[in-house]
Structure 1
Amino acid sequence: MGTGQRRVIVVGAGSGIGAATAAHFHARGDYVLAVDVRPNETPASKHLQVDLRDPEAITALLTEIGPGWDLLAHVAGVPGTAPANDVLLVNYLGMRLMTEGILPLMNHGGAIVAVASVAALGWEQRAGDLAGLLDATDPEAVVTWQAGQDPAYPVYSTSKQALILFAKRIAGPAWTKYGVRVNTVSPGPTDTPILVDFEASMGKDVLDMAKAAVGRHARVDDVVPVISFLGSPDAGWINGQDLHVDGGFLSSLTAGTPIQL
Structure 2
Amino acid sequence: MNTEQRRIVVVGAGSGIGAATAAHFHDQGDHVLAVDLRPEAAKASQHAQCDLRDAAQIRDLLGSIGDSWDMLAYVAGVPGTAPAADVLKVNYLGMRLFAEGMLPLMQRGGSVVTVASVAALGWQDRIDVLAGLLESTDADAVERWQAGQDPNYPVYSTSKQAAILYAKRLAAAAWQRYGVRVNTVSPGPTETPILGDFEASMGKEVLDTVRATVGRHARVSDIVPVIEFLGSPAAGWVNGQDIHVDGGFVAPMSVGGPVQL
Give the TM-score of the pair, scaled to structure 2. 0.98
Q: CA deviation at 1:218?
A: 0.1
Paired position in structure 2 for 1:192:
192
CA RMSD of aligned residues (A): 1.0
Paired position in structure 1 for 2:45:
45
Paired position in structure 2 for 1:86:
86
SS of residue paired to 1:256:
coil
Residues 13 and 39 in structure 2, CA contact (< 8 A), matched pair in contact too? no
Q: CA deviation at 1:253?
A: 2.1
Cα 1:259–1:236 change in 2 (3 A) is same
Paired position in structure 1 for 2:244:
244
Percent identity over the alignment is 71
Give the TM-score of the pair, scaled to structure 1. 0.98
Cα deviations by residue, 1:51-105 (Å, 9 ceiling, x for unpaired): 1110000000001101110000000000000000000000000000000000000
Distance (whole Å) between structure 2 residues aligned to residue 134 and residue 226 of structure 1 = 26
Q: CA deviation at 1:40?
A: 3.1
SS of residue paired to 1:172:
helix
Paired position in structure 1 for 2:76:
76
SS of residue paired to 1:111:
strand
SS of residue paired to 2:42:
coil
Aligned residue type for 2:73: A
SS of residue paired to 1:249:
coil
Cα deviations by residue, 1:145-184 (Å, 9 ceiling, x for unpaired): 0000000000000000000000000000000000000000
Paired position in structure 2 for 1:64:
64
Q: How many residues align?
A: 260
Aligned residue type for 1:259: V
Residues 111 and 181 in structure 2, CA contact (< 8 A), matched pair in contact too? yes
Paired position in structure 1 for 2:138:
138
Q: CA deviation at 1:254?
A: 2.1
SS of residue paired to 1:217:
coil
Q: CA deviation at 1:39?
A: 4.0
Residues 15 and 41 in structure 2, CA contact (< 8 A), matched pair in contact too? no
* Structure 1 portions without partners, runs of 5+: none
Q: CA deviation at 1:243?
A: 0.1
Paired position in structure 1 for 2:209:
209
**1:107-146 pair list within 5 angstroms:** 107-146=107-146
**1:138-157 pair list within 5 angstroms:** 138-157=138-157
Distance (whole Å) between structure 1 residues aligned to residue 137 and residue 195 of structure 2 = 29
* Structure 2 portions without partners, runs of 5+: none
Residues 103 and 180 in structure 2, CA contact (< 8 A), matched pair in contact too? yes
Cα deviations by residue, 1:93-118 (Å, 9 ceiling, x for unpaired): 00000000000000000000000000
Q: CA deviation at 1:3?
A: 5.8
Distance (whole Å) between structure 2 residues aligned to residue 58 and residue 247 of structure 1 = 34
**Which runs of 4 or more aligned residues in structure 1 lie more than 4 Å from their structure 2 counterparts after TM superposition?**
none
Distance (whole Å) between structure 2 residues aligned to residue 97 and residue 13 of structure 1 = 17
Distance (whole Å) between structure 2 residues aligned to residue 215 and residue 252 of structure 1 = 16
